[in-house]
Structure 1
Amino acid sequence: MPSEKVLMRGSNVVGEAAVRAGCRYYFGYPITPQNELPEYLSGRLPEVGGTFIQGESEIASINMVLGAAAAGARTMTSSSSPGVSLKQEGITYLAGMELPAVIVNMMRGGPGLGNIAPSAADYFQATRGGGNGDYRTLTLAPAGCQELAELTFEAFDLADKYRTPVMLLGDGLMGQVMEPVVFPDYIDPETLPKKDYALDGAKGRGPRKIFSMYLGQQGELKDHNLKLQAKYDEITDKERRWETYKTDDADVIVVAYGTAARIAETAVDELREQGLKIGLFRPITLWPYPTPALRKLAQGRKIAVFELCLGQMVEDVMLSVGERAEIYFYGVPGGVIPTPAEVVEFLRSTSNGDGKVGRRIEL
């Protein structure tokens, strides 16, 4: 039976969803604006026999995640922007060793220490790897509390399915906002499929199939990277996700994700009332990016990209659209959240092609 609708803060939604998805091990280190998530799990996990550890650093925490993943557990960590930067080496090891884990980033303003205001300037970090080597991180971008719940479940399932780290990319506003949520059905971790690669002791068993990064010196690493690439190709083929809103007759398509997409949707509705044909394309997977869907949608239309940064996703839009459509961009950095009215003016300017708000992207 589905759970009842409850009113919860975004960060707490992720924590509760993780518990209900079978996660029993959390390791993290405090950083604003996501501290409500580890705070919630510090009380919730012991109630279900789980383990919560506040590590001495972000680096220690991500390596604890690696250990729990190697032992076959559903495990996660969370942080915000500069904290995720410190976890990058551990994330590359998870990817290279093919270990599933969920990493939550409630983004804040940057670069560097930045501020604690919501931002979306970690797109490159999430979708381009962020660490060294030929690896990718499957990245999910919720646009509100209900999706925070649903995509947390999805993140654990995808991590296990492909034996890979999965990032849930939110922001400080999304983590603080309270909204009604219906959680997916509870999963008992004891009912999850056993992982034949899990390290569970040496007695009575042969070697387990976890790639050691120290054994890649004689050509094994080349073969291993080719194996990883085949997996990334499969993910790209099967796991692209997106949503469209009022695009059927649109002359202008605004492309936005996360909190920016919520703002853009309000702007679309307002402009529709004024007679302008505007639609919204919202990528849900930032990697793999839903390139074919956007490419098909772009033909003969103007594309308006709106981000809570100075332009990172716009590069994937450029790769998707090419010269099929004019591309315009508007973004605000440093944790500043534009109002729907500002986005309305950007979209009206894009529709008119007058360049008064935002800028046209030259390929």
Structure 2
Amino acid sequence: MSKVLMKGNEAIGEGAIRAGCRHFFGYPITPQSELPHYLAKRMPEVGGVFLQAESETSSINMVYGAAGAGCRVLTSSSSPGLSLMQEGISYLVGAELPCVIVNVMRGGPGLGNIAPAQSDYFQAVKGGGHGDYKLIVLAPASVQEIIDLMQVAFDLADRYRTPVMLVGDGILGQMMEPVELADEVTLPAMPAKPWAAGGLRGREKPNIINSLYIVPEQCEKLNQRLFAKYAEIAAKETRWEEYQLADAEIVLTGFGTAARIAKSVVDKARAAGIKAGLIRPITLWPFPSEVYARAAAHAASFLCIEMSMGQMVEDVKLAVNGQRPVHFYGRSGGMVPLAKDVLAELKKVMAGGAE
């Protein structure tokens, strides 16, 4: 093992390669452009394919083709670009095709700016495209965790035949941290994909990749099969981090960069004699609702920290289910919460002055 300094966007690419991904289709957009730039060099080095598409719409449909052929395939973009991919993502879900999609979020709505944000939470976890569907959504909080979760993302995609989305923000994509990497890149064992399109291969009939179901009864059966799969994913694949939670009287919660800020606030609060704790969802879907319900048995209140106007807070409220008050503090449009301001909000909540 070697320890190297890597930028978050580059770690996404290296993590994908080490997870066995050999196909990337994408389009540059700040603040994730270092990722395709990195893979433009690395993919040829490992015998892979890098293709810069003419648009995000094109790239997601290229992903559809590669995934349908049984390849491990990646695409990436940032907020407005993800909006352009939504129809293709819905097609991927309908055809039950595994792939990994990365969103390094920026300020919005509209073109917004290139500053970090978390305001695409609804788009990721509620299904940004048409139809009844869900994505597995992973939210790393460090560059090392990016490396680790890329392997998880591809494995989950193949295991459940579903797109997996990894979300970060401009800070996570741009910052540099030391990461541990194996000295040699070895291709992991790949699962068999007997459903993939790639010729007859001894079969009487070819495999057909399709998301068109003209007969309503058949389309309903697809939806029922998908949601049975989602129930299995929720039961087996929910991930989160707990920090100082056991005796916490106030629980901070957030994901990604916001969770890093919240964790530092927990330490500051503890130093001031306040029993604070943290829940950090690692899977935004499936959402770790049970840990919030358990924490509500001893915590007096919750404070959700986001780099948005408040989106994950709705899922926190659903998880707490009215047992305790859930408060919110956020910055939007590319602004980042400061630890001192979050600590002030925490003290206000403890004093009963926050709404």
| TM-score exceeds 0.5 | yes
The aligned residue for residue 173 of structure 2 is: 175
Deviation at 1:192, TM superposition (A): 1.1
Find the aligned partners of 2:345 and 2:185 in 1 and give their Cα distance: 43
Aligned CA distance change for structure 1 residues 339 and 56 (closer, same or farther; 3 Å): same
1:131 aligns with 2:151: no
Find the aligned partners of 2:207 and 2:291 in 1 and give their Cα distance: 37
SS in 1 for 2:238: coil
The aligned residue for residue 240 of structure 1 is: 238
Deviation at 1:210, TM superposition (A): 4.8
Matches within 5 A, 1:62-77: 62-77=60-75
Name the aligned partner's letter for residue 254 of structure 2: A
Deviation at 1:209, TM superposition (A): 5.0
Deviation at 1:217, TM superposition (A): 2.1
Find the aligned partners of 1:187 and 1:19 in 2 and give their Cα distance: 9
Find the aligned partners of 2:295 and 2:211 in 1 and give their Cα distance: 42
Deviation at 1:300, TM superposition (A): 3.9
Find the aligned partners of 2:232 and 2:201 in 1 and give their Cα distance: 35
Structure 1 segments, 4+ long, off by >3 Å, are: 183-187, 206-211
1:323 aligns with 2:322: yes
The aligned residue for residue 155 of structure 1 is: 153
The aligned residue for residue 307 of structure 1 is: 306
Find the aligned partners of 1:325 and 1:218 in 2 and give their Cα distance: 43
Aligned CA distance change for structure 1 residues 51 and 299 (closer, same or farther; 3 Å): same
Deviation at 1:298, TM superposition (A): 1.6
Paired residues of 1:260 and 1:306 also in contact (CA < 8 A) = yes
Find the aligned partners of 1:342 and 1:208 in 2 and give their Cα distance: 60
TM-score after normalising by structure 1: 0.94
Matches within 5 A, 1:239-278: 239-278=237-276
Paired residues of 1:255 and 1:304 also in contact (CA < 8 A) = yes
Aligned CA distance change for structure 1 residues 115 and 240 (closer, same or farther; 3 Å): same
Aligned CA distance change for structure 1 residues 230 and 208 (closer, same or farther; 3 Å): farther
The aligned residue for residue 144 of structure 1 is: 142
Residue by residue over 1:107-135, the C-alpha shift from the partner in whole angstroms, topping out at 9 and shown as x without a partner, is 00000111000000000000001000011
The aligned residue for residue 99 of structure 1 is: 97
Aligned CA distance change for structure 1 residues 278 and 208 (closer, same or farther; 3 Å): farther
Find the aligned partners of 2:163 and 2:76 in 1 and give their Cα distance: 13
Name the aligned partner's letter for residue 351 of structure 2: N
Name the aligned partner's letter for residue 54 of structure 1: Q
The aligned residue for residue 343 of structure 1 is: 342
Name the aligned partner's letter for residue 149 of structure 2: L
Name the aligned partner's letter for residue 106 of structure 2: R
Find the aligned partners of 1:287 and 1:19 in 2 and give their Cα distance: 24
SS in 2 for 1:5: strand
Gap regions ≥5 residues in structure 1: none
User: Cα RMSD (Å) of the superposition?
Assistant: 1.4
Name the aligned partner's letter for residue 144 of structure 1: S
Aligned CA distance change for structure 1 residues 209 and 224 (closer, same or farther; 3 Å): farther
Deviation at 1:13, TM superposition (A): 0.5
Matches within 5 A, 1:100-115: 100-115=98-113
SS in 2 for 1:76: strand
Name the aligned partner's letter for residue 103 of structure 2: N
The aligned residue for residue 55 of structure 2 is: 57
Paired residues of 1:96 and 1:211 also in contact (CA < 8 A) = no
The aligned residue for residue 353 of structure 1 is: 352
Find the aligned partners of 1:270 and 1:203 in 2 and give their Cα distance: 62
Deviation at 1:54, TM superposition (A): 0.3
Paired residues of 1:104 and 1:167 also in contact (CA < 8 A) = yes
Name the aligned partner's letter for residue 315 of structure 1: E
Paired residues of 1:198 and 1:208 also in contact (CA < 8 A) = no
Name the aligned partner's letter for residue 294 of structure 2: K
TM-score after normalising by structure 2: 0.97
Gap regions ≥5 residues in structure 2: none
Name the aligned partner's letter for residue 77 of structure 1: T
Deviation at 1:187, TM superposition (A): 4.3
Residue by residue over 1:222-248, the C-alpha shift from the partner in whole angstroms, topping out at 9 and shown as x without a partner, is 111111110011111111111110111
Find the aligned partners of 2:198 and 2:207 in 1 and give their Cα distance: 12
Deviation at 1:214, TM superposition (A): 2.6
SS in 2 for 1:213: coil
Paired residues of 2:247 and 2:298 also in contact (CA < 8 A) = no
Paired residues of 1:97 and 1:210 also in contact (CA < 8 A) = no
Paired residues of 2:68 and 2:209 also in contact (CA < 8 A) = no
